Amino acid sequence: MTTTTWEAPPLAPLAQPRRTRARSGVLPTLWLGVLAVLVFWWTGTAASTGGTPGGALMSLGELAGLLASYLVCAQLLLIGRVPWFERGIGFDRLVAWHRSLGTSVVLLVLTHVALMIVGGSLLDGLSVWSEVPAVLATQPYLWPAVIGTVLFVAVGVSSARLARRHLSYEVWFAVHLSIYVGIFLAFAHQVAGGTHFVDSPVARGLWILLYAGTAAALLTWRVVLPLVSHRRYGLRVSAVVPEANGLASVWVHGHGLSRLDARGGQFFLVRFLTPGHRATAHPYSLSMAPTDDHLRFTVGALGDHSSAVADLRPGTRVQVEGPFGTFTADRATSDRVLLVAGGAGVGPVRALAEELLAQGRQLVVLHRAHDAASLALAAEFTPSPHLTYVPVPGRRAQLGYDPLDPQHLRGLVPDIASRDVFVCGPPAMADAVVRAARAVGVPRSAIHREELDS
């Protein structure tokens, strides 16, 4: 398989410009759930519980525990590849929310533990140090919950920014997987010992339903459906083609891939089932609109595993999850579009350009790279009346200026203010382009960005 050259198709009828997607109800639903937990605590708590400081502290500790427990389910659902969430929010933002809530959950769990111990010791008239063994001896399933808490803290610490810098992906991932054990261990003490559950079969039933529903969602969308599609599509590496300095295209062959309904600009979580790759799934963007039997990913030499794709043998089985991402052609609101690609960002930009052209839009492609030898896929941007390809090679230090600052950007694309701007590349470059575009008068709603960070 060689790289395809691709020509601008004849002007197609202009697609109806679509507004950006409707606001999704996912996050409001999540906050409503928090409110429901508060109401649940409220109705299940007698005001006389607060008659003693110990009772009040323990009751608040229970509320902290309930919130943490609910947010754990929310967190799992956010990264559960639930289609409704993916369409409404997008993979990147879901992961970001998952991370934020992770911090909250670990802190709430620790708050719960502290309040239960302090409140309990006041209530039982014991010192804090003798309260702990006393509670462990009497409360049901508290020992497993203690182990679960340790796992929660381990996952939280290993995911902190500082730790992530020093941990390999594999170590982090292994620690992260252990959270399922932690959640399982912490569950029993909630329904068997929590004051809001021991007395109430209804509350217990609802709480079990929350956890069972979360588990079912995870099983469906993270285990069963990926396995089904893995069998159905039968994806294998068919070729690895070096494109430019540090960039290579991985061609993946399969059957009936149109059913994936993938679009240019989207990405998959890709896992190559071969030693050295098996443990990690990488977010790779399509670098051409997918055909019924081929996907192509153009991968940069970023990260330790991405760079090793050059060694992949044809025939290697491939597992994908996706497609993800909202960096797609239907975000465009104008019939004129500027695409800015940096480094490996040229892959999604190339795929996006294909679809935007098919919609009859008029494109300018700015291709930024350190040097001319790094301009991957340049030959595929065949100039036409609908496509202007502008390579911008050279490091800023050598050029003596930043070709993406407002002044130079306007020089390269005089009508930029009337265009949609799609930018894909390293975060710093994407930031610079967004700033420059705003400075020269592109409305925020017309700027669409995708970062490549791993």
Partner 1 sequence: MTTPRWRGTVIYLGSLAAIGAAGFTKFAVLAPTSTSPESSTDGTAAAAGSVGTGQSDSTTDPATSTGAGSTSDAGTTTNDTVTIVGSSVQTRYGPVQVSVTFTAGQISDVQALQVPGGHHESVQINARATPLLAQEVVDAQSAQIDTVSGATYTSEAYAESVQSAIDQRG
- Min CB(128)–partner 1 separation in Å: 15
**What is the DSSP secondary structure assignment for residue 274, as one 8-state letter?**
S
| Closer CB to partner 1, 131 or 380, in the complex | 131
- Min CB(129)–partner 1 separation in Å: 18
| Closer CB to partner 1, 73 or 413, in the complex | 73
- Min CB(88)–partner 1 separation in Å: 15
Q: Tell the burial category of 173 from Cβ atoms under 10 Å away from its Cβ (0-12, 13-18, 19+).
A: middle
Ordered DSSP codes for 286-353: BSS---SSEEEEEEES-STTGGGGGGPPTT-BEEEEEEE---SGGG--SSEEEEEEEGGGHHHHHHHH
Distance CA 81, CA 321 (A): 9
Q: Is 224 left (phi over 0), alpha (psi -120 to 50) or beta?
A: alpha
- Min CB(395)–partner 1 separation in Å: 24
Which residues of this chain interact with partner 1, rule CB under 8 A? 34, 38, 41-52, 54-56, 58-60, 63-64, 67, 92-93, 95-96, 99-104, 107-108, 111, 120, 123, 138, 195-196, 198-203, 427, 451, 453
- Min CB(135)–partner 1 separation in Å: 9
Q: Over the range 432-441, which residues count as b (16 or more CB within 10 Å of their CB) and which as e?
A: bbbebbeebe
| Closer CB to partner 1, 22 or 47, in the complex | 47
| Closer CB to partner 1, 111 or 245, in the complex | 111
| Closer CB to partner 1, 42 or 129, in the complex | 42
In this structure, the number of other CB atoms found within 10 A of the CB of residue 90 comes to 17
- Min CB(119)–partner 1 separation in Å: 8
| Closer CB to partner 1, 2 or 43, in the complex | 43
- Min CB(42)–partner 1 separation in Å: 7
C-alpha neighbours within 13 Å on the C-beta side of residue 227:
6
| Closer CB to partner 1, 102 or 226, in the complex | 102
| Closer CB to partner 1, 38 or 412, in the complex | 38
For the chain, the 3-state helix, strand and coil shares in percent, each to the nearest 5, are: 55, 15, 30
According to DSSP, the β-strands at 282-285 and 336-342 are unpaired
What is the length of the chain? 454
Q: Cβ(300)–Cβ(283) under 8 Å? A: no
Distance CA 181, CA 169 (A): 20
Strand partners of residue 272: 318
- Min CB(27)–partner 1 separation in Å: 12
| Closer CB to partner 1, 258 or 454, in the complex | 454
| SS3 state at 85 | helix
- Min CB(195)–partner 1 separation in Å: 5
